DNA sequence: TATAATAATGACACACGGTTCATTTTACAA
DNA sequence: TTGTAAAATGAACCGTGTGTCATTATTATA
């Protein structure tokens, strides 16, 4: 009698697969990626993967969960360090800009692909909606802190501002994805978004 | 010796297939749609389709071409009828709103899917870029007419305004697609976009 | 009516990914 | 060293879509 691997080892294996899958997703996108690809990237045998995940979707959801946690952590850290909420928002725009410049190395495009192709599936749609809501809510919460601190005097409901910012930003991202940062004029667009958001939040121009 | 069908008949057949394909694309989206589906929807035999189109991509491109022509025609008609350029733009927002409300009956979602999953393919990317450019150019041309007529006093280059509007609009569309018009607050978002565009174009508030 | 050209058919071969499961390997415990 | 339980393997099967091509159906012309 003897279980061969500890929980920790099992978790390591799982992580190993997720890392491999992430690489494949970045390289090929969501749809074209196959279980076979993951297994090959991880250097394991075909049947092995089913000991850890049942479907490609499971794997992708797990990856997104990780991503979310990282982002959550990033925001809370920033809030501890920074005095100004606007600085955090502006910083995240800068970070976004950098990510968009090297989009081909990012899993972001695959996220969009997953979302935009998944709305016909009831399961996926539900998860999508919940992710959308929590994403907006997180942002609105941040904005509310700014209001409480007297940084912002918003010209419309925070919810709407959150939604506007989110969709505008998403549009910029998809265009960048489609034609590249240069042709989409990504930098200037993000700058325009920043100005627009300032205005909506009632921050005076510098 | 005798050819069996005239050019006109052949064109009819082609159109018949395109109509069937459009239905399938609307119903299933781009990736899941198969040549088999088209053939079944059109009520023809498996091999038949290859007498008209080589690949699914060919078919979809042909559909987009049609769509483009229709839109081109719509704009030129509107320009003849309407005195104000802003009215045309505003009208197209209204039209967009209606389309977004019944998105499931539209081929729009499939367009997005096609775009967002196609950027890794060199061929598709090139077509995508050219479509992006011509789309923006068409809109900028319209804006220019407004400037010439003294309707607009833009606060930034028309190109940038065109890009901003386009990506913002696209963001609203993708969000609507993802979570539905109600949850995405589509109506208010489009109204905010309209206000924003007015401002960028230097049109005084009514 | 006969025939020739071509439109249309659908069976078939092929490729590929998903999934299972009998078999082999591994590592710990006795 | 040996036995054993779990981990890992990979051959094999299944389902599905693609694309081809020999065959059949159709119709204008001779």
pLDDT digits 0-9 by tens, B79-92: 899 879 999 999 99
- Residue B115: the pLDDT is 86
Q: Is residue B3 scored above 80 in pLDDT?
A: no
Contact B119 A178 (CB under 8 A): yes
Residues A67 and A107: beta-carbon distance below 8 Å: yes
- Residue B111: the pLDDT is 92
Contact A113 B116 (CB under 8 A): yes
Which of B27, B106, B171 would you mutate first to test chain A, the one with the most A CBs within 10 A? Answer: B171
3-class secondary structure, A121? coil
3-class secondary structure, B153? coil
Sign of the four-CA dihedral B69, B74, B76, B77: positive
Positions on chain D within 7 A of a protein C-beta: 3-12, 16-22, 26-30
Q: Which residue has the tokens 């539209």?
A: B106
Report residue B34: phi and psi, to 5°: -125, 160
- Residue A3: the pLDDT is 58
Which protein residue has its CA closest to C1' of D26? B4
Q: Is residue B1 scored above 60 in pLDDT?
A: no
Cα(A40)–Cα(A46) distance, integer angstroms? 8
- Residue A75: the pLDDT is 86
Which of A26, A33, A119 would you mutate first to test chain B, the one with the most B CBs within 10 A? Answer: A119
Average pLDDT over residues B160-172: 97
Is B79 at the interface with chain A, CB within 8 A?
Answer: no
Cα(B112)–Cα(B118) distance, integer angstroms? 10
- Residue A205: the pLDDT is 66
Which protein residue has its CA closest to C1' of D27? B4
Contact A164 B192 (CB under 8 A): yes
Cα(A176)–Cα(A185) distance, integer angstroms? 8
The overall longest dimension of chain B from CA atoms, in Å, is 71
Contact A192 B160 (CB under 8 A): yes
pLDDT digits 0-9 by tens, B172-200: 999 999 999 999 999 999 999 999 999 99
Please state the separation of Cα B99 from the chain's center in Å: 11
Report residue B205: phi and psi, to 5°: -60, 140
What single DSSP character describes residue B5?
Answer: S
Q: How far is the CA of B57 from the C1' of C11 (A)?
A: 26
Measured between beta carbons, the chain B residues lying within 8 angstroms of A164 are 189, 192
Q: Is A125 (CB) below 7 Å from strand C?
A: no
To the nearest whole angstrom, how far is the Cα of A9 from the nearest Cα of chain B? 36
Residues contacting A30, CB < 8 A, separation 6+? A56, A60, A110, A113, A114, A117, B117
Strand ranges for chain B from DSSP E: none
Tokens of B150: 């003294």
A residues 113-172 near B, CB within 8 Å? Answer: 113, 115-117, 119-120, 128-129, 132-133, 156, 159-160, 163-164, 166-172
**Interior/surface letters B28-41, b for 16+ CB within 10 angstroms, e for the rest:** ebbbebebebbbeb
Cα(B19)–Cα(A70) distance, integer angstroms? 46
Q: What is the CA radius of gyration of chain B?
A: 20
What single DSSP character describes residue B46?
Answer: G
Q: What does the CA dihedral B198, B184, A139, A148 come to, rounded to 10 degrees?
A: 70
Kindly state the percentage of chain B with pLDDT values over 90. 85
Q: Model's pTM, two decimal places?
A: 0.92
Measured between beta carbons, the chain A residues lying within 8 angstroms of B117 are 29-31, 113, 117
To the nearest whole angstrom, how far is the Cα of B98 from the nearest Cα of chain A? 18
Tokens of B139: 């809109």
Cα(A114)–Cα(A47) distance, integer angstroms? 25
Q: Is residue B2 scored above 70 in pLDDT?
A: no
pLDDT digits 0-9 by tens, B19-31: 999 999 999 999 9
- Residue A206: the pLDDT is 59
Tokens of A142: 């941040």
With a cut of 70, list the residues of chain A below it in pLDDT: 1-3, 205-206
Which of A116, A139, A180, A182 would you mutate first to test chain B, the one with the most B CBs within 10 A? Answer: A116
């Amino acid at each position: 009698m003897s279980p061969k691997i500890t929980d920790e080892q099992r978790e390591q294996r799982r992580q190993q697969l997720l890392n491999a899958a992430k690489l494949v997703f970045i390289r090929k996108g969501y749809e074209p990626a196959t279980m076979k690809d993951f297994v090959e990237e991880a250097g394991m045998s075909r049947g092995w993967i089913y000991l850890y995940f049942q479907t490609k979707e499971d794997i992708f959801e797990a990856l997104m969960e990780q991503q979310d946690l990282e982002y959550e952590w990033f925001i809370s850290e920033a809030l501890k360090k920074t005095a100004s909420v606007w600085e955090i928002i502006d910083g995240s725009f800068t970070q976004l800009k950098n990510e968009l410049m090297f989009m081909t190395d990012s899993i972001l495009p695959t996220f969009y692909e997953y979302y935009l192709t998944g709305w016909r599936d009831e399961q996926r749609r539900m998860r999508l909606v919940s992710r959308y809501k929590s994403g907006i809510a997180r942002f609105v919460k941040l904005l509310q802190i700014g209001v409480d601190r007297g940084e912002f005097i918003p010209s419309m409901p925070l919810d709407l501002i959150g939604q506007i910012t989110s969709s505008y930003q998403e549009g910029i991202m998809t265009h960048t994805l489609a034609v590249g940062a240069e042709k989409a004029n990504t930098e200037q667009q993000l700058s325009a978004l920043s100005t627009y958001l300032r205005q909506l939040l009632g921050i005076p121009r510098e």
